[in-house]
A and B are shown apart, each in its own frame.
Chain A
Amino acid sequence: MKYINKIILSVLALMAPLAACDTDALHELNVNPQALNEVNTNFMFTAASLSLASGGFSGDNRYIDWRTNMGYTMYFMQHFASTGLGLNSAGDKYYDNDEAWNAPWEFWYGNVGKTLALIFKQTSEGGFEEGQRPNMVAASKILWALNFHRLTDFYGDIPYTEAVQGPDGLFRPKYDTQQSIYMDLFSKLTEGINGISASNPDEGFAAADIIFDGDIAKWKKFGNSLMLRMAMRISNADPGTAATYVTQAVQGGVMESNDDNVWIPMDDGPSEWVNQNGISRAFAPGDGGQNRVMAKTLIDFLKGTDPNSVADDDPRLMILSEGIQGDTDPLNQEGQPNGLDGNDLDDYTGIPNTVANEQFSSANLKLFDDADPYILMNYAEVCFLLAEAAERGIGTVPGSAQQWYDNGVRAAMQFYAPMEPGDASMEVSDAQVDAYLATYPYGGGGVTGSESALEQIGYQMWASKFFNWWEAWSDWRRTGFPTLVPTDYPGSASPGVIPTKLRVPNREVATNQENYEAGATKPDSPVGKVWWDQ
């Protein structure tokens, strides 16, 4: 036993430095040399800005547009048509598509919302940049309003007050009503507009601002224009609040020309998944390869009242369409009806195995360069909203409805130049606009000859939102204009009815079931309606 004792003693002697196994050197191995405990929050602002366009910062920039903006709403809104039954054209026939429901939820909570929440957290009390960067924080509030109004517009009642607080342990956020979300967004937006000021120190804001390079005046106009959009969006549900904010927005100063448009600039690189325009990527023949066949509804609108006359055409016809396999004669342009499968299309054309792009107009590839800027909001929309407000008498709007309508049409037609700078074929002259307005004067029945003034505004707003199809869809849900004939195809999730809501994604239902059951907009189906659309 004496040996054993000796052994135990020597073991104990060796064990003395054992506590030293839990060493600082070991702990330091878990300090990531490529990460920071604190970061300049301007860098997160840039990330959030880019994420609003195609979700660029998340490194998957064509997914959200391809699935939802294009796959769903550009077909809902009948700008495009497809015989396909797959994911990327599910909107043509109102097919269920969890990826289309899911994309805005994932990108706008999981990327934009999360990033903006961190900016607020770290610049407020206890944060590592407490009290700093007032302009960037104010601009972030404007982006916050854009991000969450879009989210609630799509889904209705959603997690809001408890949302994007994962780092604080809120894993199952409760749902808030759309009305309460809108009220909070108005106040956030007001804070943002009021908070941004040329007298604040720059603190790196201009350098981080990819949208306006720190132009404070443009930020204010953007904020007020967004307020106008949001106010008009709730104008049926809560006309009083709408009037208040329309007036406030106009007094604060909205956009005044296409120079004030809110573009997110894009780039070819360094990463195609981060820096390029996601819509362009989805359409690019060697990339996403999305079918560019345009819908009959849009082409008919652009061809004007008389399809056999060029004189009454919309000047945008041959900007949006590149022709049919090189045939650029405006008279020959034709759109494909929505809601057809391959056999239906053969019946429609009378040609066996019809190849759609051999028979119908394709959208112009010039609109879809990888580095083309991405539109968030434009002046034309502001004009049409003011026209509508004036026409309906909501709030205090200077000028007449017609004046705003004419400005809107002009701005919408002259909107495409930044896509192809210096290319005359993308430009529309004032004279062309004047001629169009002379052919279709405000209150004169529009292209169909029987449109009310409000309907005319609705048609023009709809046409002006090429690229921004999900916004066109929200406008249409609210105004009911233009009058679209729904498709009715077997297997549709809402036969004969254009969907009015995105379903809450399966994943959210599975992971936050109690709150979902208690708080989500019902029915949670494509024919459910959000608060402002009641």
Chain B
Amino acid sequence: MKGKLLFLFLMTALSTQLWAQRTVSGKVTSAEDGSALPGVNVVVVGSQQGSITDVDGNYSLEAPDGASLNFSYIGYVDFVVEVGNQSIIDVVLQGDVTQLSEVVVTALGVERDVQALNYSVTDVAGDNFTEAREINVGNALTGRIAGVNVSSPSTGPAGSTRILIRGNKSLNGQNQPLYVVDGIPMDNSIGDQAGLWGGADEGDGLSSISPDDIESITVLKGANASALYGSRGGNGVINIVTKQGKKRKGVGVEFNSNYTFDVLYDQTELQTKYGAGGYNNGVSIAPQTPSDGFGQGRSSWGPALDGSPVYQWDGVQRPYTYQGNKFKNFFENGNTFTNTLALSGGGDQQTYRFSATDLRSTSIIPNSGFDRTNVTLSTNGKYFDKLTLNAKVMYSREKAKNRPTVSDSPGNAVQSIWYTPNNVDANLQKGPADRPGSIPEGLDPQMYTIYGQGGDPRTPGMEWLPASNNWGQNPWWSTETMVNDDTRDRIIGSAGLRYDILDWLYVSGRIGMDWSQRRETRLVPQGTGYQLGGSMQEGLQDIRETNMEWMLGVDKDFGEFGLNAFVGGNKMERSWERIRADGNGFSVDFFEAINNASSRNYNYGYNQSGINSLFGSVEVNWKHIIYLTGTGRNDWFSVLNPESGNNIFYPSVGGTWIFSDSFEGTPSWLSFGKLRASWAQVGLVTIGPYETNLEYGLGDSHLGRPMAGISGAFGRTATLPNQFIKPALSTETEIGFDLRLFQNRLGIDFAYYDQQTTDDIVSQTISVATGFGATRVNVGKITNKGWELLLTGTPIQAGDFVWDVSLNLSYNKNEVVSLIDGLTELTGEEPRTRNAFIKHIVGQPYGTITGRVQATDPNGNLVFDDQGRAVAVNDFVPIGQGVPPWGWGINNSFSFKNFNLDFLIDGKNGADIYSGTNLRMTQGGWTEQSVQGRLGEDPLHITGVQNTGTTEAPVWTPVDRDLTPEEAANYWSRLGDQSNGISTAWIYDGAFVKLRSVVFGYNFPRSLLQDTPIQNVSLSFVARNLWVISKHIDNVDPESAYSSNGGAQGLEYFAMPATRSYGFNLRIGF
């Protein structure tokens, strides 16, 4: 393996006479410590002549006049020197610090020289995850890699991350990449996500990884890069390489401590002038009775705040005044404290690294947080010169406390705060300290009856609803009395052995396991508004994946040709199991334990699946200038039916030409230049176990009698298994170039790709009269075309001052080309407002937002009804795009002496957001928008036409008038209506620019540490998500998705508010 970045360093020479063929000798030493280097290859460039240095580093050979000698040694930069008239040439070889970053881990953990790669890969070093850190490592990739779209839904501290590489490739499944840790695939099951009816983000598999253990992350973007992973790599691969021990004297101790505050980033601009209330016969009035106070506890159409006494939800009259920013009143400051201790060391035969990390965090939402403990031990050994062992075990324990509910209401405290009227202080709704959010003793007795809403009166200890809506929770009840906790224990272990049969032939085997167990507890307490009896769940989920792999490989040069090839096989097995106890109602009042549930039920789920694979790769190079690579893999899937084809072969071919090394007289400003091209196919299997079998299963029993139906299809719109499903096929062509100019001061890496998925597995909706709602068929076609640009540069390098900058930019054009015969669209998710749909429409990109527009007459005038409300056209038409086609990031790093400053600005463009929060807040009278038209404000004026005829024979009468305040309120309310709303009123441009991360650090000079055992200390100020530099959406952060599901991108509805985080990172090495 040759480093390609050559830095000439030092040479001493003595000149002698000019001879045609002369003997040259000398000594090769290491620049690091001046020691002699034995075994260095010394070759006369362009010939077969060569020699090797002896134990003392001396060499001697015959060389013709005008020849050049090439000195190469593993771990050192190649050094070329013209012989000229010298006969003694002593050489000092420079340790190759850059070499590590030039070798990347490619598919199957194979390390390859970057210059051989015929596709684009991007490497991100571990520092980027440890300083300005995120709990979920995936989020730390945001903005760093061209073509990698990271979206972190706004769902709280332990939420999932969505990573989309080069666009959505399938209409089915998650479209998320495969995660591989040190060559072993890792389970990244995405937990439940909030949907139409709300819910919490139950996290993903990635959150187990401690950033402190990461050496680097390599992203394999295209099918070409990941073809060797087969079906599972079809959406790209994220390769995580963990830190390893290094040979050293004694034990290396590293300690890292990171403390950050998470602070509410309030982006709301709501009206502060009007309070609770509503219109009655044209007049806006504040609540007049205790019953009104409760009934109108979530309305904001009252009159201007005037300080008069007004009833509130608790039957108490308080001054009708603004109670301050309700978000700042409710949310707390969160914090995250992470401490890592790592020990490493070893000798010639064996190295080791041990690390322990403890993370404790609290969220900005009360009583919620995430804790994680990681312990990792890894070791590498080399025995008998030929046998290499590496083994590792990573244990993690994650504890999520009260994952917040987002989207729809049940349990959504954030929504409750949004709905708090200006004159109400939500902190007063906290109630008794031992049961927050519950009805206290000693209220005016009529309140208990009012709270009953026509049923039995509510009693102390039950939920203290802030308004007469059983589904709109008391925020304190949601956060402190409801429970949604989980704990996950996980072990990822792997061991690999490699035996070098010959110096060019090896055989290796590897076995890995990822096993996790998740324990969850959920409680809807007794007395909850929408479920007075209460309910509880205790669950245990177990996921296990094992991989066994073998490989046989060669790596040998034949004169000007080099060959690197291997064959191998893999066997993957995965099982999933869940046991859950459900309880409803509690026998002893307010004693909320599953064994106290008055009715109990259990649930059991199990499935298993496997993939057997064979693969091989051949790479041939000519003089390390031209590389040709071909790979193949065959996967056999357990989830497919053997009779109708359960296996598929994936080929890939590609080539690379390093043109900068091909010609004499390459200009000096061209340090490196490479062209690359490749083509690959990968199958996508997006169905789960048992989905091709028609079997019978037993459901719940009734009165002790068993009940059965079609397994997995008890429901009324169940999916009918299709035994003929085969894998979808993704085909991708990629071309690109890599240029480095002006002694590497400027780098340009460009890639263009053209991907298409055919035979996509699509869930076809069928007539429910068949008894089923859907079946799966291989029919869809979807394409992604795009380009990625990475510019790296060092604009200034002056003495101690260095400025590095890196810019990445990408564009992806996605198109749904065809669906099932006769169908032009598939429907994805739907927001709670139920007046928009995400659809995948033929001719449009995946994830198009559709909704209603305002009707117009034949002359294009807007249509209003007799009450001045906008009239909608009842069809759902495309009104926006949920997935951004453009993504970019700029990272600047400055270093001056011991100081460094690093900041990342990133953005996304081209997507839209359908804002349910703004819709609801305008409907209810909270937004600034809704102020227009109220008494004493600018009137709401409408201009257009009204149909004074009939639907069949319309008569378009012009309207041009101001609406009355009540009409205006109705106008706003209708604008967001479920059946008649105008969806386009709630679409916002989703483009944004953010200052994503800032690190300002100082390395203490060695001189200060001389008399201490400490070898190095660095202290940094770190910050993330500091500033939304530009956005187009009111009141909420532009990254406010409530779900990481692919079919819900572009929807926003009462997610967690954004946070800024900042703090310090301290690193000490002993």
Could you list which residues of chain A lie within 8 angstroms of chain B, going by C-beta atoms? 3-4, 7, 10-11, 14-15, 18, 21-23, 25-27, 29-40, 43-44, 46-47, 50, 55-60, 95-96, 105-107, 109-111, 113-115, 117-118, 158-159, 163-167, 170-173, 207-208, 210, 265, 267-272, 274-275, 284-287, 289, 291-293, 325, 343, 346, 352-353, 355, 357, 362, 365, 491, 505, 507-508, 510-513, 515
Q: Which 9 A-B pairs have the closest CB atoms?
A: A286-B532, A269-B599, A285-B455, A114-B771, A110-B716, A270-B601, A166-B770, A357-B454, A43-B708
Q: Can you give 27 contacting A-B residue pairs, CB < 8 Å? A: A3-B554, A7-B565, A21-B634, A21-B636, A22-B612, A26-B636, A30-B609, A32-B607, A35-B695, A40-B706, A40-B708, A43-B707, A57-B700, A96-B979, A106-B768, A110-B715, A110-B771, A163-B771, A165-B770, A166-B770, A270-B600, A271-B582, A271-B601, A286-B533, A292-B454, A346-B280, A491-B980
Contact with A along B1007-1044 (1 / 0, CB 8 A): 00000000000000000000000000000000000000
Could you list which residues of chain B lie within 8 angstroms of chain A, going by C-beta atoms? 280-281, 288, 291-292, 295, 449, 452-456, 470, 528-533, 535, 552, 554, 556, 558, 563, 565, 567, 569, 573, 582, 584-585, 598-602, 604-610, 612-614, 616, 634, 636, 638-639, 642, 646-647, 689-690, 692-703, 705-712, 714-718, 720, 765-773, 775, 822, 979-980
Closest CB in chain A relative to B197 CB, distance in Å: 12
Could you tell me if B610 and A29 are in contact, using CB atoms closer than 8 angstroms? yes
Tell me the bound Cα distance from A30 to B695 in angstroms: 11
Could you tell me if B716 and A22 are in contact, using CB atoms closer than 8 angstroms? no
Task: List chain B residues, Cβ under 8 A from A50.
Answer: 702, 707
Task: List chain A residues, Cβ under 8 A from B608.
Answer: 29
Residue of A nearest to B613 (CB): A21
Residue of B nearest to A355 (CB): B291
Could you tell me if B706 and A365 are in contact, using CB atoms closer than 8 angstroms? no
Tell me the bound Cα distance from A353 to B601 in angstroms: 43
Could you tell me if B616 and A29 are in contact, using CB atoms closer than 8 angstroms? no
Find A170's partner among B607, B765, B770 (CB 8 Å cutoff): B770
Task: List chain A residues, Cβ under 8 A from B552.
Answer: 10-11, 14
A-B contact count (CB 8 A): 282
Could you tell me if B455 and A365 are in contact, using CB atoms closer than 8 angstroms? yes
Residue of A nearest to B599 (CB): A269
Could you tell me if A172 and B766 are in contact, using CB atoms closer than 8 angstroms? yes
Find B532's partner among A167, A275, A287 (CB 8 Å cutoff): A287
Task: List chain B residues, Cβ under 8 A from A3.
Answer: 554, 556, 558
Residue of A nearest to B773 (CB): A110
Tell me the bound Cα distance from A31 to B694 in angstroms: 11
Tell me the bound Cα distance from A16 to B533 in angstroms: 64
Could you tell me if B636 and A22 are in contact, using CB atoms closer than 8 angstroms? yes
Task: List chain A residues, Cβ under 8 A from B708.
Answer: 39-40, 43-44, 47
Could you tell me if A172 and B767 are in contact, using CB atoms closer than 8 angstroms? yes
Closest CB in chain A relative to B629 CB, distance in Å: 16
Could you tell me if A268 and B703 are in contact, using CB atoms closer than 8 angstroms? no
Tell me the bound Cα distance from A46 to B696 in angstroms: 14
Tell me the bound Cα distance from A236 to B715 in angstroms: 37
Tell me the bound Cα distance from A165 to B610 in angstroms: 32
Tell me the bound Cα distance from A346 to B607 in angstroms: 58
Tell me the bound Cα distance from A272 to B281 in angstroms: 43
Closest CB in chain B relative to A335 CB, distance in Å: 15
Could you tell me if A110 and B601 are in contact, using CB atoms closer than 8 angstroms? no
Tell me the bound Cα distance from A365 to B455 in angstroms: 8
Closest CB in chain B relative to A466 CB, distance in Å: 19
Find A210's partner among B567, B705, B765 (CB 8 Å cutoff): B705
Could you tell me if A173 and B769 are in contact, using CB atoms closer than 8 angstroms? yes
Task: List chain A residues, Cβ under 8 A from B765.
Answer: 507, 510-511
Tell me the bound Cα distance from A210 to B693 in angstroms: 30
Closest CB in chain A relative to B498 CB, distance in Å: 17
Could you tell me if A55 and B697 are in contact, using CB atoms closer than 8 angstroms? no
With A207-B705, A346-B280 as contacts: A171 and B767 at CB distance below 8 Å:
yes
Closest CB in chain B relative to A258 CB, distance in Å: 21
Closest CB in chain B relative to A502 CB, distance in Å: 14
Tell me the bound Cα distance from A33 to B698 in angstroms: 12
Find B767's partner among A46, A362, A511 (CB 8 Å cutoff): A511
Tell me the bound Cα distance from A491 to B980 in angstroms: 10
Task: List chain B residues, Cβ under 8 A from A353.
Answer: 280, 288, 291-292, 295
Task: List chain B residues, Cβ under 8 A from A325.
Answer: 449, 454
With A58-B715, A164-B769, A166-B771 as contacts: A11 and B567 at CB distance below 8 Å:
yes
Could you tell me if B716 and A58 are in contact, using CB atoms closer than 8 angstroms? yes
Find A43's partner among B449, B693, B706, B715 (CB 8 Å cutoff): B706
Task: List chain B residues, Cβ under 8 A from A15.
Answer: 567, 614
Find A208's partner among B452, B455, B604, B705 (CB 8 Å cutoff): B705
Could you tell me if B695 and A32 are in contact, using CB atoms closer than 8 angstroms? yes
Tell me the bound Cα distance from A163 to B715 in angstroms: 17
Task: List chain B residues, Cβ under 8 A from A272.
Answer: 535, 584, 599
Residue of B nearest to A111 (CB): B716
Residue of B nearest to A164 (CB): B771
Task: List chain A residues, Cβ under 8 A from B601.
Answer: 269-271
Could you tell me if B604 and A34 are in contact, using CB atoms closer than 8 angstroms? yes
Residue of A nearest to B689 (CB): A30
Find B528's partner among A107, A165, A286 (CB 8 Å cutoff): A286
Tell me the bound Cα distance from A362 to B600 in angstroms: 32
Could you tell me if B690 and A23 are in contact, using CB atoms closer than 8 angstroms? no
Could you tell me if B702 and A275 are in contact, using CB atoms closer than 8 angstroms? yes
Residue of B nearest to A21 (CB): B612
Tell me the bound Cα distance from A43 to B533 in angstroms: 30
With A36-B696, A38-B696, A289-B530 as contacts: A166 and B772 at CB distance below 8 Å:
yes
Could you tell me if B705 and A173 are in contact, using CB atoms closer than 8 angstroms? no
Find A26's partner among B610, B634, B696, B703 (CB 8 Å cutoff): B610
Closest CB in chain A relative to B533 CB, distance in Å: 6
Task: List chain A residues, Cβ under 8 A from B605.
Answer: 34
Closest CB in chain B relative to A91 CB, distance in Å: 15
With A22-B646, A270-B599 as contacts: A511 and B614 at CB distance below 8 Å:
no
With A267-B702, A287-B530 as contacts: A114 and B612 at CB distance below 8 Å:
no
Could you tell me if B700 and A271 are in contact, using CB atoms closer than 8 angstroms? yes
Find A105's partner among B529, B712, B768 (CB 8 Å cutoff): B768
Find B598's partner among A11, A43, A265, A268 (CB 8 Å cutoff): A268
Could you tell me if B703 and A267 are in contact, using CB atoms closer than 8 angstroms? yes
Closest CB in chain A relative to B981 CB, distance in Å: 13
Task: List chain B residues, Cβ under 8 A from A170.
Answer: 770
Residue of A nearest to B635 (CB): A21
Task: List chain A residues, Cβ under 8 A from B280.
Answer: 343, 346, 352-353
Task: List chain A residues, Cβ under 8 A from B531.
Answer: 286-287
Residue from B700, B706, B708 with most neighbouring chain A CB atoms (10 Å): B708
Could you tell me if B638 and A270 are in contact, using CB atoms closer than 8 angstroms? no
Tell me the bound Cα distance from A274 to B714 in angstroms: 11
Q: Can you name 18 extra interface pairs (CB under 8 A) apart from A3-B556, A207-B705? A: A11-B552, A25-B610, A40-B706, A47-B708, A59-B715, A105-B769, A110-B715, A110-B773, A167-B694, A167-B720, A171-B766, A173-B770, A268-B585, A274-B700, A285-B452, A285-B456, A287-B531, A289-B530
Residue of B nearest to A87 (CB): B978
Closest CB in chain A relative to B654 CB, distance in Å: 20
Residue of A nearest to B979 (CB): A96
Residue from B531, B608, B705 with most neighbouring chain A CB atoms (10 Å): B705
Tell me the bound Cα distance from A167 to B291 in angstroms: 56
Closest CB in chain A relative to B408 CB, distance in Å: 14
Residue of B nearest to A108 (CB): B716
Residue of A nearest to B611 (CB): A26
Could you tell me if A59 and B700 are in contact, using CB atoms closer than 8 angstroms? yes
Tell me the bound Cα distance from A287 to B533 in angstroms: 8
Could you tell me if A29 and B573 are in contact, using CB atoms closer than 8 angstroms? yes
Residue of B nearest to A289 (CB): B470
With A267-B702, A270-B701, A275-B700 as contacts: A508 and B769 at CB distance below 8 Å:
yes
Residue from B295, B565, B609, B770 with most neighbouring chain A CB atoms (10 Å): B770
Could you tell me if B612 and A26 are in contact, using CB atoms closer than 8 angstroms? yes
Task: List chain B residues, Cβ under 8 A from A55.
Answer: 716
Find B770's partner among A32, A37, A163, A352 (CB 8 Å cutoff): A163
